[in-house]
Amino acid sequence: QRTDVLEAYVKTDGAWIIKLPKSQYTVKTVEECAVKCDKEVSFTCRSFLYIEKDQDCVTLPANSKTDQILRRMSATLYEKKVYLLECVNGIGKDYRGTKSRSKSGKMCQRWEGTFPHLPNITPKTHPKADLESNFCRNPDEDKGGPWCYTTDPEKRWEHCNIQDCTEECMQCSGENYRGKISTSMSGFTCQRWDSQQPHNHGYIPSALPDKYLEENYCRNPDGEPKPWCFTNNPTKRWEFCTIPRCTTEPPTIVPELTCASGEGSSYRGTISVTVSGKTCQAWASQSPQKHSRTSENYPCKGLDGNYCRNPDNERSPWCYTTDPETRWEYCSVPSCGDTPGPEEPVIPEGEECYEGDGSSYRGAMSETISGKKCQFWTSMEPHRHSKTPLNFPKADLRRNLCRNPDGDRAPWCYTTDPSVRWEYCNLERCDNIPNTQESQTNPSQTATQATPVESAPSKIDCKVGNGADYRGATSTTLMGITCQAWSSMTPHQHASFTPETHPDKGLESNQCRNPDNDVNGPWCYTTDRSKKWDYCQIPDCESLKCGQPATKPKRCFGR
Partner 1 sequence: IVGGCISKPHSWPWQISLRTRSRIHFCGGTLIDAQWVLTAAHCLERSDSPSAYKVLLGIHTEKANEPSKQERDVVKIIKGPASTDIALLKLDRPALINDKVSPACLPEKDYIVPSNTECYVTGWGETQGSGGEGYLKETGFPVIENKVCNRPSFLNGRVKDHEMCAGNIEGGTDSCQGDSGGPLVCYAQNTFVLQGVTSWGLGCANAMKPGVYTRVSKFVDWIERSMKQN
Say how many Å lie between the first and final Cα of the chain, rounded: 51
Task: Pick the stretch among 76-84, 126-134, 194-202, 375-383 that binds partner 1 (CB under 8 A).
Answer: 194-202
Is 202 a binder of partner 1 (CB under 8 A)? yes
Tell me if 280 sits within 8 A of 267, measured CB to CB.
no
Q: How far apart are CA 511 and CA 394, in angstroms?
A: 64
Q: Which of 218, 374, 401, 538 binds partner 1 (CB under 8 A)?
A: 538
For partner 1, give the closer residue by CB, 178 or 291: 291
Q: How far is the CB of 457 from partner 1 (least distance, A)?
A: 3
Q: How far apart are CA 63 and CA 40, in angstroms?
A: 15
Binding footprint of partner 1, residue count (CB under 8 A) = 52
CA distances from residue 307 to 56, 271, 275, 280, 293 in whole angstroms, order as listed: 53, 6, 13, 7, 13
For partner 1, give the closer residue by CB, 328 or 392: 328
Q: What is the 3-state secondary structure (H, E, C) of 534-547?
A: EEECCCEHHHCCCC
Chain positions 302 to 361 lying near partner 1, rule: CB under 8 A, are 327-328
Task: Pick the stretch among 12-20, 86-94, 519-527, 544-552 that binds partner 1 (CB under 8 A).
Answer: 544-552
For partner 1, give the closer residue by CB, 123 or 539: 539
Is 435 a binder of partner 1 (CB under 8 A)? no
Is 543 a binder of partner 1 (CB under 8 A)? yes
For partner 1, give the closer residue by CB, 182 or 537: 537
Is 28 a binder of partner 1 (CB under 8 A)? no
Q: How far apart are CA 19 and CA 46, in angstroms?
A: 12
Q: How far is the CB of 443 from partner 1 (least distance, A)?
A: 14
Q: Which of 17, 462, 483, 507 binds partner 1 (CB under 8 A)?
A: 462
Q: What is the largest CA-CA distance in the chain?
A: 114
Is 429 a binder of partner 1 (CB under 8 A)? no
Exposure string of 417-429, with b = 16+ CB inside 10 Å and e = fewer, is bbebbbbbbbbee
Q: How far apart are CA 456 and CA 460, in angstroms?
A: 8
Rg of the chain, C-alpha, whole Å: 33
The closest alpha carbon to 381, from 473, 326, 313, 288, belongs to 313
Is 287 a binder of partner 1 (CB under 8 A)? no
Q: How far is the CB of 260 from partner 1 (least distance, A)?
A: 19
Q: How far apart are CA 305 and CA 272, in angstroms?
A: 9
Task: Pick the stretch among 64-72, 131-139, 174-182, 538-546 that binds partner 1 (CB under 8 A).
Answer: 538-546
For partner 1, give the closer residue by CB, 410 or 483: 483
The closest alpha carbon to 496, from 463, 452, 533, belongs to 533
Is 221 a binder of partner 1 (CB under 8 A)? yes
Is 432 a binder of partner 1 (CB under 8 A)? no
For partner 1, give the closer residue by CB, 156 or 237: 237
Strands 412-414 and 422-424: antiparallel
Binding residues for partner 1 (CB under 8 A): 196, 200-204, 207-208, 221-222, 237-238, 289-292, 327-328, 371, 373, 437, 440, 445, 457-458, 460-462, 474, 476, 480, 537-540, 543-559
